[in-house]
């Protein structure tokens, strides 16, 4: 299957008072057309910075390096572009049309003083300025309908604060999908919602993925949620991918001690007592010399500190960045 998004040593660097740090460190990943990849890790592991880096929305002054190839198809012309090398203006043309993003808390992404419908219309107008007002309005309402927003014409006239959390997230999804992008990045889209609404949003994303042939990068700190929606899982720690493989293999036979720890701490996957991973994600300017997980790892031994381990093959499609993988 063709890769729609193909990351090759993709890196994002930020300048801090103690020098440059890498919240995203030489990440190589591919998203095949139509698949859902779950990107999992605790807060501060680099998941969100990876997505912001791809969308050219990383904080001012951030440096991007490596390659992030996106297959594009516009006006009958197809090819691939390296997102890491695009200027903001070039990226603006692709955002929404080829690749779009939804966020954890729609209130921060939606304009609080603008009606929902007007915000979706603005996104459509930016890409299709030749459409009439009526046509743009019709497409905005269709987008809300596609995202299962009840009474879409009426909701389009409301402001974000007049909608429930679940409806706001649906409105965000409608806005992201208004231009029918092929790749959707969903950054913790269910974390701020209660369990019932979470389930509805996950079901909606799965339905839209099938209906619109979307390729989905689903970011979450919860392996249980990733297990419900993703075909493959990539686990991120301290800016690097530490394990990647088919969902079933990663959940039933994790090969990196960090993934093991995430599984023991996942409420949806653990029937017994939840066991949090001891310690905390290291500061990026204080990473240990070898394996970044070493200070928290129950299997740590001296050789783990010699160098950052490579991603080793555990099975034909399953890799882990740990010296224990033979």
Give 184 or 325: the residue with its C-beta nearer to ligand SF4: 325
Please report the beta strands in the chain, taking only residues with DSSP state E, as ranges in sequence order: 3-16, 19-32, 36-40, 63-74, 77-82, 99-102, 183-187, 215-220, 232-237, 240-246, 312-315, 318-320
- Measure the CA–CA gap between 290 and 202, rounded to whole angstroms: 37
277 lies in the binding site for ligand SF4 (CB under 6 A): no
> Reading across the β-sheet that carries 318-320, which strands appear in turn?
99-102, 183-187, 215-220, 36-40, 232-237, 240-246, 318-320, 312-315
Q: Does 306 bind ligand SF4 (CB under 6 A)?
A: no
- Asked if 237 interacts with ligand SF4 (CB under 6 A), we say no
Q: If binding is defined by CB under 6 A, does position 287 make contact with ligand SF4? A: no
* 125 vs 312, beta carbon nearer ligand SF4: 312
Query: What DSSP line would sit under 223-255, residue for residue?
Result: HHHHHHH-SEEEEEETTEEEEEEEHHHHHHS--
Between 96 and 257, name the residue whose CB sits nearer to ligand SF4: 257
**d(C-alpha 37, C-alpha 218), whole Å:** 6
Does position 297 interact with ligand SF4 (CB under 6 A)? The reply is: yes
Distance, CA of 129 to chain centre:
29
Among 91, 107, 197, 323, binds ligand SF4 (CB under 6 A): 323
Which listed residue (10, 69, 103, 293) binds ligand SF4 by CB under 6 A? 293
Rounded distance, CA 27 to CA 53, Å?
A: 12
| Of 40, 183, 304, 314, the one binding ligand SF4 by CB under 6 A | 304
* Residue 297 beta carbon to ligand SF4: minimum distance, rounded to whole angstroms: 3
Q: Is 20 in the site for ligand SF4 (CB under 6 A)?
A: no
Tell me the two tokens of residue 297.
Answer: 């790892």
Q: Please, what is the angle between helix 165-177 and helix 116-127, to 10°? A: 10
Binding-site member from 23, 96, 245, 257 for ligand SF4 (CB under 6 A): 257
* Contact call for residue 291 and ligand SF4 (CB under 6 A): yes
Question: With respect to ligand SF4, which residue has the nearer C-beta, 210 or 310?
Answer: 310
Residue from 16, 59, 299, 317 in contact with ligand SF4 (CB under 6 A): 299
For position 216 contacting ligand SF4 by CB under 6 A, the verdict is no
Angle ∠(155,156,159) on CA atoms, nearest 5:
80
**Is residue 294 a contact point for ligand SF4 (CB under 6 A)?**
yes
Q: Count of CB atoms within 10 A of residue 280's CB?
A: 11
With binding defined as CB under 6 A, does residue 250 bind ligand SF4? no
Contact pick of 309, 314, 318, 319 for ligand SF4 (by CB under 6 A): 309
The answer to the question of residue 189 lying near ligand SF4 (CB under 6 A) is no
Pick 59 or 279: Cβ nearer ligand SF4: 279
For 234, list phi and psi in degrees, rounded to 5.
-125, 130
Distances (CA, A) of 272 to 154, 223, 266, 277, 298: 46, 16, 10, 15, 20
Q: Which CB sits closer to ligand SF4, 180 or 300? A: 300
Q: Which stretch binds ligand SF4 (CB under 6 A): 113-121, 124-132, 173-181, 296-304?
A: 296-304
Count of residues of this chain found to bind ligand SF4 when the rule CB under 6 A is applied = 13
Side-chain half-sphere of 81: how many Cα atoms within 13 Å?
Answer: 19
Residues making contact with ligand SF4 (CB under 6 A): 256-257, 291, 293-294, 297, 299-300, 304, 309, 322-324
């Amino acid at each position: 299957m063709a890769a729609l998004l193909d990351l090759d040593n993709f890196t994002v660097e930020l300048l801090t008072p103690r020098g440059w740090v890498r919240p995203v460190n030489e990440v190589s990943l591919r998203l095949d057309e139509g698949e859902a990849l779950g990107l999992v890790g605790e807060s501060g592991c680099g998941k969100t910075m990876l997505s912001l880096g791809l969308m050219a929305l990383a904080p001012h002054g951030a440096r991007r390096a490596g390659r992030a190839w996106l297959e594009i198809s516009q006006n009958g012309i197809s090819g691939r572009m390296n997102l890491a090398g695009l200027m903001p203006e070039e990226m603006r043309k692709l955002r929404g049309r080829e690749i779009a993003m939804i966020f954890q808390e729609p209130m921060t992404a939606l304009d609080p003083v603008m009606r929902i419908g007007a915000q979706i219309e603005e996104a459509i107008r930016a890409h299709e300025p030749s459409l009439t007002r009526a046509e743009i309005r019709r497409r905005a309402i269709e987008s809300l309908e596609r995202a299962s927003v009840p009474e879409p014409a009426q909701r389009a006239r409301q402001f974000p604060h007049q909608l429930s959390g679940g409806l706001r997230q649906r409105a965000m999804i409608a806005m992201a999908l208004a231009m029918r992008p092929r790749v959707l990045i969903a950054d913790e889209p269910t974390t701020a919602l209660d369990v019932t609404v979470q389930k509805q949003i996950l079901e909606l994303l799965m339905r839209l993925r099938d209906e619109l042939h979307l390729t989905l990068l689903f970011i979450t700190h919860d392996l249980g949620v990733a297990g419900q929606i993703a075909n493959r899982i990539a686990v991120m720690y301290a800016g690097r991918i530490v394990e990647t493989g088919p969902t079933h293999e990663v959940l039933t036979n994790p090969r990196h001690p960090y993934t093991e720890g995430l599984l023991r701490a996942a409420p949806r996957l653990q029937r017994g007592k939840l066991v949090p991973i001891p310690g905390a994600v290291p500061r990026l300017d204080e990473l240990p010399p070898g394996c970044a997980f070493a200070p928290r790892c129950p299997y740590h031994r001296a050789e783990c500190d010699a160098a950052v381990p490579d991603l080793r093959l555990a099975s034909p499609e399953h890799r882990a960045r740990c010296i224990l993988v033979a």
